[in-house]
Structure 1
Amino acid sequence: MPLDARIADVTDRIIDRSRDTRAPYLERMRKLAEEGPRRAHLTCGNQAHAYAAMGDDKDALVAARAPNIGIVTAYNDMLSAHQPFETYPQKLKDAARRVGATAQVAGGVPAMCDGVTQGQVGMELSLFSRDVIALAAGVALSHNTFDAALYLGVCDKIVPGLVISAATFGYLPALFVPAGPMVSGLPNDEKAKVRQQFAAGEVGREKLMEAEMASYHGPGTCTFYGTANSNQMLMEFMGLHLPGASFVNPGTPLRDALTAAAAERAAAITGLGNEYTPVCDILDEKAFVNGIVGLMATGGSTNLVIHLIAMARAAGVILDCSDFNDLSEATPLMARVYPNGLADVNHFHAAGGLAYMMGELLDAGLLHGDTLTVAGKGLGLYTQEPKLTDGTLTFEAGAGRSLNDKILRPVSDPFQPAGGLVELTGNLGRGVMKVSAVAPERRVVEAPAAIFHSQEDVKAAFKNNELNRDVIVVVRFQGPKANGMPELHALTPVLAVLQDRGHKVALLTDGRMSGASGKVPAAIHVAPEALDGGLIGKLRDGDRMRVDATNGVIEVLEEGVEARAPATPDLSANAHGVGREMFEIFRQAAGPATSGAGVVV
């Protein structure tokens, strides 16, 4: 099938926009690749330090004829998705040895759990942790002893940070190694119902705790379709995972086989062999377009809008919010996974999952099928599924059809003709809204504004019955320069209760919502942010506003707002406590959401 003209047009304009950055980036990578294996440039003393603790692998490392693979791990016990990585380094080393290679843990990177910090001050470090992860991975690889890299990361900021580092070391091959989702527990919609009941005072904390523990109950990613699982989808669509690796549960033989296969494949694609595949050649404009199409077809996380822009910049590719909007319009919504459906990611995977979806999108001309991947040339490889037969890993054709059309549908009969994201523009600036879980009749809200400077104040107003009406809740001074752009997911139960009471409700903020943003229309990532001169900083209680996802509009309807003096809240509390002191330089240097809200790119 020829490439859809709309996909081609967006790709062409990204290529054109990126000419001045992509070409110099590739030139740098080519020069670094021409220098040959990294270890060849180390002195004997340098190498002795690098190999001192490597035991039986020393001879192979000194000979420099076998590939040496650097492992960058985000293992910790705080993230259920990352806990399985505890045992991965030894598995990867053993697999490397079986194919005549060596592997070393190059370094660890921090990995915070947004589920723990939701609604807490620690969330103000969350977005900046992406840049810290990129920097930490850069330190790990700076030893210059590796021929390829394996990245162990799954969750929200971790994968984007690791991709930024991988792109920076783009002359090295890079594979991302997932751990898979936890098995299904309490259904996500039942958990959300209990959260709303607690917010409304209908149940106590004991009932809430029981529901939360039944939902988040074991190793693996949380099973809803938020940022963590959107990351896993993205790595397959962009060709950085092995085919079918994303949603295989931890602790299974197939998961172990895929982990070993990642090490084997990393060894095969170094510059010492015949299949040299530097990641700079994978992370091109087409790969990023494929990733965005996957995001739209699955109704994935709004956080990926910011992260994809930052990841792409590290590879010399310049994305704009309009690219997401236009690709969303071209891409049918094919999946219903919580919060835009009742199913979880395990159900989605069982229904045919990513292999089926990519096959459909390729057949419809909505993906670039000629991209380079870690598995080889062509995205068609990712329509295959991994199988374990008599202990041997093979890749076979997927089902070729949806096994549950309430969860996964073909391009010809999607849940909706356009994808899950809308760009919003107007006199308030630019923002985005995830609409895949928002009912069409709720996508346009015109109502008076209620202005807040913290989510705690919103919750207090709700408890005082001050929001029991049609309202657009504005939470400002939540951008990267103000306080690190925390997620405001703790507001979801409160706003959902108001909506369920029959009110027209929307959120507008220069902060973020969860990657699992739900049924309440939320205009987020508004830029310029309040602290950077955005008109959102001049709004007042009662201003008539319009949030319109149908026509892509965010605007204040009052006259003379531009002439007002901006609000000047006391933000000093954002500078101290839970490590925030150390991130003042990040707040000062952060770019706007429209350019990825980053510090290092």
Structure 2
Amino acid sequence: MSELHPVVAGVTERIAARSARRRTAYLERMTQAASEGPTRTGLPCSNLAHGFAACEPADKLTLRGAVKPGVAIVSAYNDMLSAHQPLAEYPARLKDAVRAAGGVAQFAGGVPAMCDGITQGRTGMELSLFSREVIAMATGVALSHEMFDGALLLGVCDKIVPGLLIGALAFGHLPAILVPAGPMASGLPNKEKARIRQLYAEGKATREDLLEAEAASYHSPGTCTFYGTANSNQMVVEVMGLHLPGASFVQPGSPLRRALTEHAGRRVVELTRGGTEYTPVAHVIDERSVVNGVVALLATGGSTNHTMHLPAIAAAAGIELTWDDFDDLSAVVPLLARVYPNGGADINHFHAAGGVQFLIGELLDAGLLHRDVRTVAGPGLDRYRGEPVLDGDRLVWREGPTRSLDTDVLRGVADPFAPDGGLRLVQGNLGRAVIKVSAVRPEDRTVLAPARVFTTQADFTAAFRAGELDHDVVVVLRNQGPQASGMPELHGLTPALGALMDRGHKVALVTDGRMSGASGKIPAAIQLTPEAAAGGPLARVRDGDLIRLDATRGTLEVLVGADELAARSPQDGPAADADWIGTGRELFTALRRGVGPADRGASVFGTLSTDGGPAPDSAGHGAERATARDPQEVTA
């Protein structure tokens, strides 16, 4: 059995040490919230009667008693999101499965689920990140009735899975299983879709050409097949032990998908306090499983959104995860997968090549994952080497693949695509940002060029079409952070920036916004904090200032003297509350005012510090870690 890698061990110890006070307090609260029997039995009779009034007679008898568990179903189902449309049929199947296992499942609540693909470049995207907090609160409302002994959380995409988990962790004394829907079948290859997008940006393809390509790519129920935040969610939570083994990437509508869904209903009953293996979610998500989630993200080149989502999830469990932890782990975790936008394959190709089971086996054998964790499948991550299959009508797990079936898509630790995880922390006199370099050529990772400053995507697009950017350039797009505009994703910049790069120019993007899993070949320093709207130095950058981005050395700086930069007045302030209206944005003003910085999870629920008080600002990070990226120098 492989020993744990010293950097993985050291980072985990560091997280545990800085989190000790808050983690202990959180676990004490969860212990107090737990009871020896179903909480609903302590409700006044009128309250309890309301809780089971609409149930079938047999289920009413079950819920009146103090022995059999009640299970909450919380779902992000809607017809508009292809990834969530399959969830329509889940509640009925889950109710039957829970009933067969001796419990009663009730649909406790729905949570919103918006699609970033639909809102890209629109004002609705400014609600996207805040929807995570709304989902968390809606999950809390669903579980607040004290009728339940466990929860089944139905969700797939972007903010939805993190929101469900944050909400569930407020009820961490309950077991919870995430129940996914799976990816759609492969359609138009992602590289071809990207090619047509770039042609359209250059005026060389028509809108009809573009729509035809997009419709051929996003064509049926199921998760979009590129490796964005939705599929990164599935990867991360499976490695964290929150899915059943092998559940992430089985396609909707298949017999195996149905069997896994039904087994989740039976399994959650076993995990309740009255079952055989009480496993509250507060103990599944601990420092070790959080590190496992980061490692899985890095090993597969996953979405940069998780540099915010994972800290926010960890904080909900009393754990403080920082960008320094991501950076140190990235230095020693090899890149084992090439899935678009980090390669030509889609998530179905990854799954067919060996998928999560091969990946977990490789990382465990290399000592890069914590093996001794609790999971919804039972103790120990080795269970997640197993591959689910149907033996007739019976769901069983067999030994998973021990070699990749396609080394262009998935490789072992001995022959990785890159020796590190491809995620960098860059910092300097502009602040701190993250950059995903797993899809960026080494020769493109350092850029020194004059800045061209924008405050809207529309202004950037106009300048590109007017030919004003046909030179080496660092595009600065500011006032895109959480306090300014809710931190919209900026996918729409990629085709034009890619076209400039293909013309032979040195190009980079620096922004306090985010790019998500669509980060591709363009070196993009994103989620810059402090953001311009909070007085960050980015607000003082002017057109023509030289900016140097060096992803290899981990630096980001504007080549302006400190005195001159400090003397400049901030430019281009964000929209006032009175102007931040339309598309429902005015309903989210309170969240905009209360949101924290990106490197603390961009959360409105508060952040952590080692003493339990307010978290330090971005400039206070990093004192406890090594400054070099040499793996031998990274210590606890």
Query: Which interval holds the TM-score relative to the shorter structure?
Result: over 0.9
- What amino acid sits opposite 1:50 in the alignment? G
Residue 515 of structure 1 aligns to a residue whose secondary structure is: helix
Residue 222 of structure 2, aligned match among 220, 223, 233: 220
What's the offset of the Cα at 1:36? 3.5
Of 544-553 and 36-45, more deviation after overlay is shown by 36-45
TM-score w.r.t. length of structure 2? 0.94
- What amino acid sits opposite 1:600 in the alignment? F
What's the offset of the Cα at 1:574? 5.4
1:574–1:580 Cα contact (<8 Å) kept: no
Question: In structure 2, what is the equivalent of residue 531 of structure 1?
Answer: 533
Distance 1:131 1:202 in 2: 41
Question: Where does structure 2 lack aligned partners over 5 or more consecutive residues?
Answer: 607-636
Question: In structure 1, what is the equivalent of residue 120 of structure 2?
Answer: 118
What's the offset of the Cα at 1:97? 1.2
Question: In structure 2, what is the equivalent of residue 20 of structure 1?
Answer: 21
* Count, aligned residues: 601
After the TM superposition, list the runs of 4 or more consecutive aligned residues in structure 1 that deviate by more than 6 angstroms: none
Counterparts of residues 39-118 of structure 1 (less than 5 Å) = 39-56=40-57, 57-118=59-120
Counterparts of residues 17-416 of structure 1 (less than 5 Å) = 17-34=18-35, 36-56=37-57, 57-416=59-418
Residue 492 of structure 2, aligned match among 485, 490, 493: 490
Distance 1:159 1:273 in 2: 26
Distance 2:406 2:503 in 1: 33
Residue 475 of structure 2, aligned match among 465, 468, 473: 473
Residue 591 of structure 2, aligned match among 586, 589, 592: 586
- What amino acid sits opposite 2:63 in the alignment? L
What's the offset of the Cα at 1:228? 0.1
- What amino acid sits opposite 2:603 in the alignment? G
Question: In structure 2, what is the equivalent of residue 566 of structure 1?
Answer: 570
- What amino acid sits opposite 1:575 in the alignment? W
Distance 2:37 2:483 in 1: 41
- What amino acid sits opposite 1:34 in the alignment? S
Distance 1:113 1:120 in 2: 12
Distance 2:581 2:415 in 1: 52
- What amino acid sits opposite 2:25 in the alignment? P
Deviations 1:249-273 (A, max 9, x none): 0000000000000010000010012
Deviations 1:508-557 (A, max 9, x none): 00011132211101000100000111000000000000111111111001
- What amino acid sits opposite 1:5 in the alignment? P
Question: In structure 2, what is the equivalent of residue 10 of structure 1?
Answer: 11
- What amino acid sits opposite 2:28 in the alignment? E
1:298–1:420 Cα contact (<8 Å) kept: no
Distance 2:432 2:508 in 1: 16
Deviations 1:388-427 (A, max 9, x none): 1101000111111100000000001000000021001101
Distance 2:66 2:193 in 1: 54
| CA-based RMSD | 0.9
Distance 1:373 1:557 in 2: 49
- What amino acid sits opposite 2:12 in the alignment? T
What's the offset of the Cα at 1:35? 5.4
- What amino acid sits opposite 2:104 in the alignment? T
Deviations 1:138-158 (A, max 9, x none): 000001100000000000000
Distance 1:354 1:274 in 2: 27
Classify 1:222/1:404 alpha carbon distance in 2 versus 1 (closer, same or farther; 3 Å): same
What's the offset of the Cα at 1:274? 2.6
Distance 1:54 1:383 in 2: 39
Classify 1:459/1:319 alpha carbon distance in 2 versus 1 (closer, same or farther; 3 Å): same
Distance 1:239 1:84 in 2: 23
Residue 473 of structure 1 aligns to a residue whose secondary structure is: strand
Deviations 1:261-299 (A, max 9, x none): 001000001001231000000110000000000000000
Question: In structure 2, what is the equivalent of residue 575 of structure 1?
Answer: 580
Residue 468 of structure 2 aligns to a residue whose secondary structure is: coil
1:226–1:300 Cα contact (<8 Å) kept: yes
Residue 308 of structure 1 aligns to a residue whose secondary structure is: helix
Query: Quick one: percent identity of the two aligned structures?
Result: 61
What's the offset of the Cα at 1:568? 3.8
Classify 1:294/1:570 alpha carbon distance in 2 versus 1 (closer, same or farther; 3 Å): closer
Question: In structure 1, what is the equivalent of residue 440 of structure 2?
Answer: 438
Distance 1:104 1:473 in 2: 51
Deviations 1:3-27 (A, max 9, x none): 0001011001000110121000000
What's the offset of the Cα at 1:570? 5.6
- What amino acid sits opposite 2:600 in the alignment? S
What's the offset of the Cα at 1:37? 1.6
- What amino acid sits opposite 1:4 in the alignment? H
- What amino acid sits opposite 1:222 in the alignment? C
Distance 2:80 2:156 in 1: 13
